Structure 1
């Protein structure tokens, strides 16, 4: 659907709940299990250069291509990670800018006989597609050993298909955050909410101070799916979330009615949404961030929902993260606060010693630490030092990700067929835009969502 950067796009245990109670921003994703597999060719470690404790082969004369749907600072910072790999191994690595959806891009490259050696894929479904099409190659034992050292079992499992390890998650995103204009909150006497009722009270306090509470990015369908997913996960629980993600229950289920009804408590209050429904439907994600953090203490909105990657957009407004722009976890609607996340996994398309070594490098703390220091990045690698992240906000988010262990849920729409969960003007994106236009029509929204889901899933 989208990458885990500015382009893009639970918890089940008391451990994660305790982290939230302590003020951490806990993160989680859903994992699919499977047995370990040691298949995959390449990856000989004879004659190696060692950077710290990481052993990599000598690859003088080797050329590699890496494809990802990353632009701007994200692409520039990732290239620095690739440059260090080249320095340590002697390989020449070229970054190939890909178009979204990357599966379609890769299909055209493979049809032309020029696939990249490695691709960064933004959804578990994309990894499965690459495997089903015969494109993806299993990671070898050496790479898997690096994964086991640095990743929780859940992060390893989400990169598996049919029990074999195909993906190494290099990047993650916490998509359960609400960013706010600190000066507006201070002037209003508002505090960070802990639950949904608190959020509604905070919104009223902000409104009474003369500032519209929320900016909603209705022009882009994907932030609307993320709003729904956070409410649904917290209110209906992880089992229902998994069932709906697989379309094992219908969108006409009472749990969906409850979540949409809750969502309408914000979307249905025209005075709480910058520009009302009509204005929100013309507001892009970038605009939603901008109108929250420009205008000093009288912006167009006080709060904007989205993931940690919004920091890139916030910085473009000249607001300082941690001072002007602060953040709190998406409040709990049910008994547990929700956390929805996404990620990008390195997958090998041309099996070779060089490709296997490159994915091993991307699975190492050495690689992730380079990009962590540059900002706008979050790693699921548990051995990246927390102080590598450049500010307190990112350090808090990163620590909570690692502390959450194996308790995680992946973005629901990213798990759905693309025609339902990831296409502008169609499926869930369009249906939730229609619901934003008329939040009183819960039953009508459910019927549309179910009809589109049934067509996409084929059931």
Structure 2
């Protein structure tokens, strides 16, 4: 599953990306109580796609019924439903959200076999898009959707939605997966500052633990979060070229570079006092709880930090904490010479022919759709036409600007590039192997052997 995006992961661009994010963080720190930190408002201007400022024309679809499938739940699903409501209002169509299960390829396969595929699906892995095309489920994007992509997206994001040169997908939602969110009160109580390097990260964790607060909340029950931990360490330590080779399984998981990354990650996982609830507690913690337990309890939360993407803001919103005041963010610490920049995303693809599916694909490629969800928080779009004012606070705006500034200079989530059997299935493949590693971080060699065996089987080599 070769990722088709730019390969120039330069220090200059990485510095520009994180400078934008750092600026956003600095604004948030100094603007407590101001418009940028309260989770509401748009900075005074009208977001694209709001109050009639439409950027795309849509056909009338009165009476047409559509289904959209995605693995989103909770507030993420609720916020996306608002996007679908806007599409309904503008076209007259009726759209039903269909909750999907991981792995989504299996879910869709069942729907297709039963003759009832959804009109559009949002796929969380590049490998899932490739599988949908190979299985002849997917419909190529129509001219209207392609026109929106040409106008609004950098080439790298367009290529990620293409298979064998044909455009199928629209990357509606992106993610900056190289962020660490922290409880400002817990940091202040322990007298620590956001670290820039892995060495400093472990030192901060030591101080937090000594102060009586577990440093990190790890969502070990959800194996995908553990793949993100590994990928950030590996990209920073081994470098982008090795990252690309491992993503394509051109080097084995028994390679020494993997050993080094697992050993580094083990410095965190092996310290029971560093993890909220210890390893067993982490393995029982699902992603939403990993966030909410970090931002409840005042200056004595269950953990002071939680690692994950910009979408963490959606879960923070379920607590009393305010992004930009109580909940702040710093880039994933540099393990090697440079901090990592790992991105992910959800790609929309039409599974049925017809005007309705293509119209929805076109809408999702427009700034109009992205602006609706952007203002709800916990969402970042790779659509460069989205008005930054659509995002609800300075931190979200900074993350979005950094993503756009990166252009094609990023690395896409490694596990999402892999066949779903290896990188996207609960209870098996990389997800399960890294859960076992969290339980026993001393068994580096054994985990490497298992990872390689599973990868070889999934990649067919």
The answer to whether TM tops 0.5 is yes
Please say if residues 11 and 339 of structure 1, whose CA atoms lie closer than 8 Å, have aligned partners that are also in contact. Answer: no
3-state SS of paired residue (1:73)? helix
Which residue in 1 is equivalent to 2:427?
Answer: 425
SS in structure 2 opposite 1:274? coil
Q: For residue 165 of structure 1, report the CA deviation from its aligned partner.
A: 0.2
User: C-alpha separation between the residues in 2 aligned to 1:56 and 1:337?
Assistant: 42
Q: Distance in 2 between matches of 1:455 and 1:209?
A: 46
| Alpha carbons of structure 1 residues 76 and 184: separation in structure 2 relative to 1, 3 Å | closer
Q: Is the 8 A contact 2:55 2:368 kept in 1?
A: no
- Alignment of structure 1 residues 310-325 onto 2, 5 Å: 310-325=312-327
Task: From the superposition, tell whether residues 273 and 115 of structure 1 become closer, same or farther in structure 2 (CA, over 3 Å).
Answer: closer
Q: What is the match of residue 67 of structure 1?
A: 69
Per the normalisation by structure 2, the TM-score is 0.87
Partner residue of 1:211 out of 191, 203, 213 = 213
Secondary structure in 2 matching 1:115: coil
CA distance in 1 between counterparts of 2:8 and 2:187 reads 29
Query: What residue number does 1:148 align with?
Result: 150
- Aligned twin of 2:16: 19
Is 2:294–2:306's contact at 8 Å kept on the other side of the alignment? yes
CA distance in 1, matches of 2:83, 2:20: 32
**Residue 380 of structure 1, CA deviation:** 0.9
Describe the SS at the equivalent of 1:205: helix
2:71, 2:101 within 8 Å by CA — same for their partners in 1? Answer: yes
Aligned pairs for 1:120-135 within 5 A: 120-135=122-137
TM superposition shift of 1:429: 1.9
Of 433-442 and 404-413, the range deviating more from structure 2: 433-442
Where does residue 249 of structure 1 map in the other structure?
251
Deviation at residue 360 of structure 1 after TM alignment: 0.9
Distance in 1, matches of 2:360 and 2:443, equals 51
Residues 363 and 369, structure 2, Cα contact 8 Å, conserved in 1: yes
Q: How many angstroms apart in 2 are the aligned matches of 1:68 and 1:266?
A: 33
**Most deviating of 274-283 and 216-225:** 274-283
Q: Is contact 2:17-2:406 (8 Å) kept?
A: no
Secondary structure at the residue paired with 2:173?
A: strand
TM-score (norm 1): 0.88
Residues 151-194 of structure 1 show CA distances to partners (whole Å, capped at 9, x for unaligned) of: 10111000000000000111111211111110111122211111
Query: For residue 451 of structure 1, what is the aligned residue in structure 2?
Result: 453
How many angstroms does 1:52 deviate by? 3.1
**Aligned CA distance change for structure 1 residues 25 and 378 (closer, same or farther; 3 Å):** farther
Q: Distance in 2 between matches of 1:20 and 1:95?
A: 34
Q: 1:113 offset after TM fit, Å?
A: 1.9
Distance 1:52 1:420 in 2: 41
Tell me if 1:336 matches 2:338: yes
Per-residue deviation, residues 235-272 of structure 1 (Å, max 9, x unmatched)? 11111111111211111101001101111111122222
Q: Distance in 1 between matches of 2:253 and 2:301?
A: 36
Q: Report the CA distance between 1:51 and its aligned residue.
A: 6.1
Aligned to 1:224: 226
Give the whole-Å Cα distance in 2 for the aligned partners of 1:66 and 1:425.
Answer: 26
Partners of 1:336 and 1:11 lie apart in 2 by: 14
**Which of 406, 409, 416 is the aligned partner of 2:408?**
406
Q: Which residue of 2 aligns with 1:351?
A: 353
SS in 1 for 2:110: helix
Structure 1, unpaired ranges of 5+: 1-9, 27-49
**1:231: how far off?**
0.2
Q: Which of the numbers 268, 271, 282 marks the counterpart of 1:269?
A: 271
The alpha carbon displacement at 1:13 in A equals: 2.1
371 and 333 in structure 1: CA distance in 2 versus 1, 3 angstrom threshold: same
Superposed displacement of residue 456, structure 1: 2.3
CA distance in 2, matches of 1:401, 1:360: 22
Aligned residues: CA RMSD: 2.0
2:418 equivalent to 1:416: yes
Unaligned runs of at least 5 residues, structure 2: 1-6, 24-51
Whole-Å separation in 2 of the counterparts to 1:192 and 1:23: 16
Q: How many residues align?
A: 427
The whole-number CA distance in structure 1 between the counterparts of 2:426 and 2:67 is 30
Quick one: distance in 2 between partners of 1:150 and 1:81? 18
Give the alignment partner of residue 167 of structure 2, picking from 162, 165, 185.
165
CA contact (8 A) 1:11 1:336 kept: no
